[in-house]
Chain A
Amino acid sequence: MSLEFLVSSAIGLLTACGVYLVLRARTFPVVLGLTFLSYAINLFLFACGRLVINRPPLFDKAAEAYADPLPQALVLTAIVIAFGMTAFVVILALRTYLESGVDHVDGRSDAAGQRRTGEPSQGGAA
């Protein structure tokens, strides 16, 4: 089994998990889904620099091969920005929940066809 297969299958799996969770109806799984998607996208960007083992991009005149530093720089930025986004979305979800008493992504708990869960409606300000 090659390392490339492991990384690409992991990226695929992370994407699939992310997409499934992002499509859920409550804010918390959506945040988890976004986190998954960030992992997947960061790994994908990183993989665009190809996989290299034991040659970190530290400058050395004698070095013949090195890991491509550019995707790493991009991904470093991406990780930090993904963090900023996640932090904002988490707090937004929290505030929405506090404001409406519901953590449904559309701000409603009694949407048509979704009543079979039996959860009592708490929509609207108390």
Chain B
Amino acid sequence: MLGILAILPLVGALLPALAIRWGRDACALSAGLVTLGALVLLSTMAPEVMAGQVVQSRIDWIPALGLNANFFLDPLGLLFAGMILGIGLLIIIYARFYLSEADPMGRFFTYLLLFQGAMLGIVLSDNVLLLLIFWELTSLSSFLLIGYWRHLPEGRQGARMALAVTGAGGLSLIGGLMLLGGVVGSYDLSVILQNREAIQASPLYLPALLLILGGCFTKSAQFPFHFWLPQAMAAPTPVSAYLHSATMVKAGVFMLARLWPVLAGTEAWFLIVATTGLVTMVAAAAIGLFRDDLKSLLAYSTVSHLGFLTMLFGLGTPMAAMVGVFHIINHATFKAALFMNAGIVDHEAGTRDLKRLGGLFGLMPIAGTLAVIAGLSMAGVPPLNGFISKEMMLEEAAHTAWLGQSWVFPILATLGATLSVAYSLRYIVHVYFGARRTDYPKTPHDPPVGLWGPPAVLTALVVAIGLAPALTAGPLVAAVAGAVTGGNAPDAYLALWHGLTPALAMSAIALAAGAVILWRFRQAEAAWLRLRLPEAKAIFESLTERITAACRRLTYRLHNGSLQRYLAFLIGAAILVGLGGFFGADYVEGARERLPASPMAVVAWLALVAASVAVVIGHRERYISLILISVVGLIVSLAFVHLSAPDLALTQISVEVVTILLLLLALNLMPKQTPIESGLVRRLRDASLAAVAGVAVGAGAWAVMTRDGASISTFHWANAYSGGGGTNVVNVILVDFRGFDTFGEIIVLGVAALGVFALLDTSDRGAAGRRLALWTADVVQSPERHPMMLVVATRLLLPLTLLVGLYIFLRGHNEPGGGSSPG
């Protein structure tokens, strides 16, 4: 069941691409039905999970690698799967009305479901290797979604940057999880989660932690990797609402929560995770406050809230983890609603620029009301859900000391909350209130229900959770917190009113100060601009440019396009590998009995040595070297005859003749001499490479031949006549036992023949054709076109040759012959 749930969106991703043929409604409907089906499937398992059971599904995939398709559903998985599918369904409805006629909708929904499936895989995987596969899939599918409007350069840049940052983080995560699996001895998460002591005592704990955090921080856009998320806002708004607020960016936080039981609680965890979260929360809130693009503001606000969550999980206390879980729910509801609202404003007013908006409330009362509620929740105003989790966060921060300093966390957390209030109020006030303008690019009015319905559902949740937290979110939060903390969840209950606590005072200060900042926004903005902070995007781009340039220089230096150099490197590398193997072992002289060499063999050997050396020395005279090399080929054929391989001899000699003829024909059109080009140093280098290679290969052959070894050909020998019906075992092997290999050989020859034909057939065109037309013979030609002697000889010999060829062909199965030699 669980396996089906995990695979459903991935398989269902095919549907929208097909359904688009029947129109946009059918397309959206198919995507919606897939998601709805998965959601229903999930809800059938929910009661079991909430009752404390863990639903599992185990499929052995590659057990040898520890890679199994194991899935499990615990409360944490249930929460995330519910968000992925629930918000996914709302997003699909919203996107149906958001995308314009010109956008290819089938592609959009296919990408979206692909992403949904990958995300679902992350939260359901029990095997960390499987989890990593899904993790990379989210990076890839989000690349496709961010770059969906491929005609926009910002879309392509944003997609590339997101892929570079999250992809690099993915690599880091792979390393970290492999280390973790190595320490525990299993890649199953459920086993890893049982081994807290072993992991934290291991010397690999810190490296594994750093690598895993590298993955989490890039995915969740934590400082200093925060810059990709605002760039990814070039995506269509439904994508931003889905990936960049509710799901994908939470994958990093999900990993923090998932591995919390085994990784949290150490000094290193607290210092790295909590500090990073705190810094991100404050810095991103400050940057976001002064962004004029609505989506950019929301993006930095998301980064800030992700910092908020990271900090809570970093504190390492069960209570803080529970608050983190609660805020995951709250942030998903109000932030997705606000992103959809930004999309509505963009759609209806024609711009997302805060400097060009204002006074929209009267024109768009429904969208305005929803935005005010969601925005106030983001600001942390009671009685909305954002208030409760922020209050609890401040409470946790209030009694946290950082390196012995008890003021750091309370002050900075309050500062973060203040900035959060300021940008939330700015979103509400600068879009919906103030003077109504006359210069909107479009005339704004409320959108169709398809666009405001989905955010309305989320806003209703915002209010419901805010008014009755213990009733609505309480059981789920308690169950998830229990799963995250490994059963150590505190017994606290969620309530709107916590009494007169320090957190309430901090909250009040934040609200007041935030309102003041907005009131004095002009001055604040001028002060901010005077700071001239470095732009992370520019730093990233100059860095990538420099790396690319360095790589290009290195590549061009190594790859100069010279075949000679490449071959020399190749041969040199092969020699080094061989020598490494040789000197890594002890050499023992082979014990096989040597065969005595006959005088004829010695003479043939001497002829071969002489001819080979002569070819190398005289290779500049091409005709002569061609004749000499045919001597070498002849002796090789003779060697086959002598060494009990008549078939090889036949084949070798016929191939030899054809090759030499072909070379002669080609040489007719080519230069007859080779000029001296390489310097002495180059020639000495090549000669020494050749000498070492020759000695090595010769010694290898010697080592093989002087040892006895078992051969699998006893089988072929025994079955050649009874099974293959032939006595020539070599040919029976070729056509029977290894018939498919021979078939492959025929294909290779066919490909070569096609290539030769293509090269020759077109050689009378272009530059080659002009050169051929101008070609004049540069060697002495026979005066006759068909010399008499050759003609007569051919007439006599051809029928004889054919007859001999036919004979050799037919007897091939039992005697030497057959196959390719007669040809």
A residues contacting B by CB (< 8 A) are: 1-32, 35-36, 39-40, 42-44, 46-60, 66-70, 72-73, 75-77, 79-88, 90-95, 97-101, 103-106, 111, 113-114, 117, 119, 125-126
Q: Which of A57, A84, A87, A88 contacts B730 (CB 8 A)?
A: A57
Q: Are the C-beta atoms of B770 and A7 separated by less than 8 Å?
A: no
Q: Are the C-beta atoms of A70 and B636 separated by less than 8 Å?
A: no
Is the C-beta of B676 less than 8 angstroms from some C-beta in chain A? yes
- Chain A residues within 8 Å of B760, by CB: 91, 95
Q: Are the C-beta atoms of A25 and B658 separated by less than 8 Å?
A: no
Q: Are the C-beta atoms of A35 and B669 separated by less than 8 Å?
A: no
A44→B697 CA distance, assembly (Å): 8
A-B contact pairs, 21 of them (CB 8 A): A5-B594, A14-B612, A16-B694, A21-B619, A23-B686, A28-B671, A50-B709, A56-B644, A58-B814, A60-B727, A66-B717, A77-B745, A80-B749, A84-B748, A87-B658, A92-B755, A93-B670, A95-B763, A100-B767, A103-B671, A126-B770
A88→B752 CA distance, assembly (Å): 6
Is the C-beta of B175 less than 8 angstroms from some C-beta in chain A? no
Quote the shortest CB–CB distance from A62 to chain B (angstroms): 12
A119→B461 CA distance, assembly (Å): 85
- Chain B residues within 8 Å of A46, by CB: 640, 643, 645, 648
Interface size, chain B (Cβ < 8 Å) = 116
- Chain B residues within 8 Å of A30, by CB: 563
- Chain B residues within 8 Å of A51, by CB: 595, 643, 705
Quote the shortest CB–CB distance from A121 to chain B (angstroms): 12
- Chain A residues within 8 Å of B676, by CB: 117
Quote the shortest CB–CB distance from B384 to chain A (angstroms): 72
Q: Which of B564, B622, B659, B711 contacts A35 (CB 8 A)?
A: B659
Quote the shortest CB–CB distance from B723 to chain A (angstroms): 11
Q: Are the C-beta atoms of B632 and A39 separated by less than 8 Å?
A: yes
A13→B721 CA distance, assembly (Å): 39
Is the C-beta of B695 less than 8 angstroms from some C-beta in chain A? yes
Chain A residue at minimum C-beta to C-beta distance from B733: A73
Q: Are the C-beta atoms of B596 and A3 separated by less than 8 Å?
A: yes
- Chain B residues within 8 Å of A13, by CB: 608-609, 612-613, 694, 698
Q: Which of A7, A15, A54, A87 contacts B693 (CB 8 A)?
A: A15
Q: Which of B567, B677, B819 contacts A22 (CB 8 A)?
A: B567
Q: Are the C-beta atoms of B733 and A7 separated by less than 8 Å?
A: no
A59→B721 CA distance, assembly (Å): 7
Is the C-beta of B597 less than 8 angstroms from some C-beta in chain A? yes
- Chain B residues within 8 Å of A32, by CB: 615, 619, 625-626, 629
A101→B769 CA distance, assembly (Å): 11
Q: Are the C-beta atoms of A68 and B713 separated by less than 8 Å?
A: yes
Is the C-beta of B505 less than 8 angstroms from some C-beta in chain A? no
A113→B681 CA distance, assembly (Å): 12
A48→B772 CA distance, assembly (Å): 46
Quote the shortest CB–CB distance from A97 to chain B (angstroms): 5
Q: Are the C-beta atoms of B721 and A125 separated by less than 8 Å?
A: no
| A77-B729 contact given A4-B702, A13-B698, CB 8 Å threshold | no
Q: Which of A3, A28, A66, A75 contacts B595 (CB 8 A)?
A: A3
- Chain B residues within 8 Å of A21, by CB: 615-616, 619
| A119-B749 contact given A21-B619, A69-B717, CB 8 Å threshold | no
Q: Are the C-beta atoms of A31 and B663 separated by less than 8 Å?
A: yes
Is the C-beta of B58 less than 8 angstroms from some C-beta in chain A? no
Quote the shortest CB–CB distance from A33 to chain B (angstroms): 9
- Chain B residues within 8 Å of A3, by CB: 594-597, 601
Q: Are the C-beta atoms of B695 and A12 separated by less than 8 Å?
A: yes
Q: Are the C-beta atoms of B693 and A19 separated by less than 8 Å?
A: yes
A31→B608 CA distance, assembly (Å): 19
A101→B671 CA distance, assembly (Å): 10
Is the C-beta of B53 less than 8 angstroms from some C-beta in chain A? no
A82→B711 CA distance, assembly (Å): 25
- Chain A residues within 8 Å of B728, by CB: 57-59
Q: Are the C-beta atoms of A73 and B594 separated by less than 8 Å?
A: no
Q: Are the C-beta atoms of A77 and B742 separated by less than 8 Å?
A: yes
Interface residues of B in 43-79 (CB under 8 A from A): none
A25→B768 CA distance, assembly (Å): 21
A106→B559 CA distance, assembly (Å): 12
A86→B677 CA distance, assembly (Å): 24
Q: Are the C-beta atoms of B564 and A23 separated by less than 8 Å?
A: yes
Q: Are the C-beta atoms of B690 and A16 separated by less than 8 Å?
A: yes
- Chain A residues within 8 Å of B745, by CB: 77, 80-81
Chain A residue at minimum C-beta to C-beta distance from B605: A6
Is the C-beta of B781 less than 8 angstroms from some C-beta in chain A? no
- Chain A residues within 8 Å of B729, by CB: 57-59, 66, 69
Q: Are the C-beta atoms of A79 and B701 separated by less than 8 Å?
A: no
Q: Are the C-beta atoms of B670 and A103 separated by less than 8 Å?
A: yes
A37→B674 CA distance, assembly (Å): 20
The 0/1 profile, CB within 8 Å of A marked 1, for residues 211-249 of chain B is 000000000000000000000000000000000000000
- Chain B residues within 8 Å of A49, by CB: 711
Is the C-beta of B662 less than 8 angstroms from some C-beta in chain A? yes
Q: Are the C-beta atoms of B727 and A59 separated by less than 8 Å?
A: yes
- Chain A residues within 8 Å of B678, by CB: 24-25, 114
Quote the shortest CB–CB distance from A9 to chain B (angstroms): 6
Quote the shortest CB–CB distance from B617 to chain A (angstroms): 10
| A70-B713 contact given A4-B705, A35-B629, A101-B771, CB 8 Å threshold | yes
A58→B751 CA distance, assembly (Å): 32
